[in-house]
Amino acid sequence: MGTKITGIGSYIPQGIAPNHQFEQHSFYNEDGTRFDHENAVIIEKFKAITGISERRYLNNDLTTSDMAFYAAQKAIENAAIDKETLDYIIVAHNYGDVKYGSQQSDTVPSLASRVKHLLKIKNPQCVGYDLLFGCPGWVEGMIHAHAFLSCGMAKRCLVIGAEALSRVVDQHDRDSMIYSDGAGAAVVEWKEDEKGILAYHSATYALDEAHFIYFGESNNQSSTDARRYIKMYGRKIYEFALSNVPNAMQTCVEKAGVEVSEIKKIFIHQANEKMDEAIVKRFYNVCKETQPKHILPMSIGTLGNSSVATVPTLYDLVIKGEIEEHSVAKGDIVLFASVGAGMNINAIVYKV
C-alpha cells in the first residue's frame, strides 16, 4: 500500500530570456553602489556559478494560477482520471498572483480555489488550499497529500507547484538573473497493491536563518519605486544548504530503509547548478558511498530557478524522456529534495 504519482504535468512558459538580455541592466550592490565590473563580465561569472544560460518568463496576460491550471490539466489528463474525484487540490507558491505591471500580490481567493474554478470542478468535497513553504513547497505538498491518503482522509489529491518570480524581481539586483516562471503538477493516489512514498523528512531552521530570503527594497537607492522584491543572502544560503541538506537527505534514506546505492535519480530543487552539485557530492560523502554518473538531472541551465515548480517540472521532463541521458522506470527508487525560504528543507524517498 502506498502513495503513488499516477499523473504528472508541467507548464513551461513560452518566453525565453537569454543572458544577453541583461547586458543593458544597471546592477547595484545591496548598499546602493554600482558594480565594478561591466555587465558582460558579471553575466559570464553568473553563468559559470549558476549554470543558467536562459530562463522562462510567462506571457504578460498570464498569472501564477493560470500556469498552475495548465499544469494541472496535463497531470489530470496523464492520470486519466475524472477531475470530480479529486479530494484535495494543494497549490504551493510564495507570491500569489501578481499581474503584469502590478505592485500588489493577490491571494484572495486562494490560488487553489482559482485552479479549481478554472478546472470547472463542481464537487464541493474537493477541498483546495494554498501552501507557503518557500521553494520546498511542492515537496511539502506531496508530504501533506501522503498524510491525507495514508490515514484514509483522501483517495486522490492534486499537488501543484507554481511561481512567477519574474513579477517580483529587482532589475537592479544581479540575483534577478536566477529567477524564472513555471508550474508542475502531480496527481497522487492511494494504491493498495503498490508502494510509492517510502519515507519523508522536513525541517525548518528559523532561529538565525529565517530571513536569509526576504522581501526588500530595490538595490537602486535613487529609485522612487515603493515596491518590495525577492532578496537573498546568497553566500549564507549556500553554506546553510551545504551544511544541512545532505544530512536531511541521508536521514530520509535511513527512514526508508533502503541503501543509498539503490537510488536511481535525485530530483533536487533547481536553485543553482554549482550548489546542487555540491549538495549531492556531500550527500554521497556523508553516506560514504561513491556517487554514480548521471544521478542528477538538471534543468536550470535553460529553465532557470522557478522555485516550487522546479522539482515537479524536472520530474515530468525526465518521465517523458526530455532530459538527455536521464530516465526512470517502474520500480526505480528516486529521491526528491529541496531547500528554500524559511529556511525550510525537505526530502522524499519515492518508488516509481
The alpha carbon torsion through 338, 341, 342, 344 (nearest 10 deg) reads: 0
Q: What percent of the chain has pLDDT over 90?
A: 86
Residue 220 reports pLDDT greater than 90: no
pLDDT for the residue 1: 82
What is the rounded CA–CA span in Å between residue 129 and residue 2?
Answer: 23
What is the rounded CA–CA span in Å between residue 146 and residue 1?
Answer: 12
In the three-class reduction of DSSP (H, G, I as helix; E, B as strand; rest coil), residue 122 is classed as coil
pLDDT for the residue 150: 95
Q: Give the start-to-end residue ranges of the domains of the chain.
A: 2-194, 198-351
pLDDT tens digits for 73-84? Answer: 999 999 999 999
pLDDT for the residue 176: 93
Provide the pLDDT confidence category of residue 193 given band limits of 50, 70 and 90: confident
pLDDT tens digits for 306-330? Answer: 999 999 999 999 999 999 999 999 9
Closest CA to 174 of 37, 56, 308, 307: 37
Closest CA to 334 of 248, 274, 252, 242: 252
Rg of the chain (C-alpha set): 20
Give the list of residues 6+ apart from residue 137 with CB closer than 8 angstroms, or none.
Answer: 92, 93, 94, 131, 161, 307, 308, 340
Fold held by 2-194: Peroxisomal Thiolase; Chain A, domain 1 (3.40.47)
Give the list of residues 6+ apart from residue 245 with CB closer than 8 angstroms, or none.
Answer: 279, 283, 337, 339, 345
pLDDT for the residue 201: 98
pLDDT tens digits for 195-205? Answer: 899 999 999 99
What is the rounded CA–CA span in Å between residue 277 and residue 208?
Answer: 25
Residue type, 138: W
HEC-encoded secondary structure of 152-216: CCCCEEEEEEEEEHHHCCCCCCHHHHCECEEEEEEEEEEECCCCCEEEEEEEECCCCCCCCEEEE
pLDDT tens digits for 330-349? Answer: 999 999 999 999 999 999 99
Rounded average pLDDT over 4-30? 93
Is the CB of residue 303 less than 8 Å from the CB of residue 270?
A: yes
Residue 206 reports pLDDT greater than 80: yes
Rounded average pLDDT over 18-44? 86
Residue 225 reports pLDDT greater than 90: no
Per the listing, cell 494541472 goes with 72
pLDDT for the residue 66: 98
pLDDT for the residue 224: 72
Rounded average pLDDT over 115-121? 98
pLDDT for the residue 222: 81
Task: Assess whether the region 2-194 and the region 198-351 belong to the same CATH fold.
Answer: yes
Rounded average pLDDT over 59-88? 98
pTM attached to this predicted model: 0.95
> Per CATH, the architecture of 198-351 is what?
3-Layer(aba) Sandwich (3.40)
What is the rounded CA–CA span in Å between residue 218 and residue 29?
Answer: 10
pLDDT tens digits for 130-176? Answer: 999 999 999 999 999 999 999 999 999 999 999 999 999 998 999 99
As a whole number, the mean pLDDT across the chain is 95
Provide the pLDDT confidence category of residue 350 given band limits of 50, 70 and 90: very high
Residue 97 reports pLDDT greater than 80: yes
